[in-house]
Amino acid sequence: MAHSNNSVITGKFQGSLGKELVFRNWNGKTIVAKAPGRRKGEPTADQLKTQDSFLMGSRYAKAISSGANPELAEAYTAVLKPRQNLYSRALEDFMSAPKVVSINTRFYKGAEGDKIVIRAKDDFKVTGVSVEIYAADGTLLETGEAVSDIYDLDWTYTATQSNSLLAGTVIKAIATDIPNNEGILEAVL
């Protein structure tokens, strides 16, 4: 990809030149790149899924950048990376699901009131973490929302029921972000 500081030759070119080159302007510079080629064959199932996800992300980013939610637009603007605009930041958040990094069950002994600590992260913000506890036979014992700490790093879930058979118990943590993407992690006791 070539760059130009709007020289006499490239001027303020924008668009395509034949089917060979594409010119665009970014931050006062003209960017020159090879024109994309046409896809050969039918898209695969994974490609169709990616296209659909990108379409939904594009709609989300357009809504944010059009001013539908000024507070969220301001929050995204505050964390822009170099050469990034509001639209691309919102699209990046939509396309990136949060991740549940760990489930700490050290303080969970199966008693009501025991704590489970979940660490979750996202490229922008984790908005919630829900916890599901399953018995060894797959029966759902309880479900609920975890509460974040003051740093929004760890989320603590307080058990509401007793569980006398801990062996084989599955604890599932589901983190969500602003565009409602989910990241899931399970721990087996």
Give the pLDDT score at 30. 76
Residue 49 in any domain: the answer is no
Structure tokens at 125: 């913000």
Whether residue 180 sits in one domain with residue 105: yes
Give the pLDDT score at 11. 62
Average pLDDT by consecutive 10-residue portion of the chain (189 residues)?
54 71 76 81 92 95 92 93 92 95 95 96 95 94 94 92 92 97 96
Q: What is the tally of structural domains in the chain?
A: 3
Residue 26 in any domain: the answer is yes
Give the pLDDT score at 6. 57
Whether residue 106 sits in one domain with residue 164: yes
What gap in Å lies between CA 169 and CA 162, rounded to an integer?
12
What gap in Å lies between CA 162 and CA 103, rounded to an integer?
19
147: left (phi over 0), alpha (psi -120 to 50) or beta: beta
Domain with 127, as residue range(s), is: 99-188
Whether residue 107 sits in one domain with residue 88: no
How does DSSP assign 101-158, residue by residue?
EEEE-TT-SSSTT-EEEEEEE-SS-EEEEEEEEE-TTS-EEEEEE-EE-TTSSEEEEE
Residue 47 in any domain: the answer is no
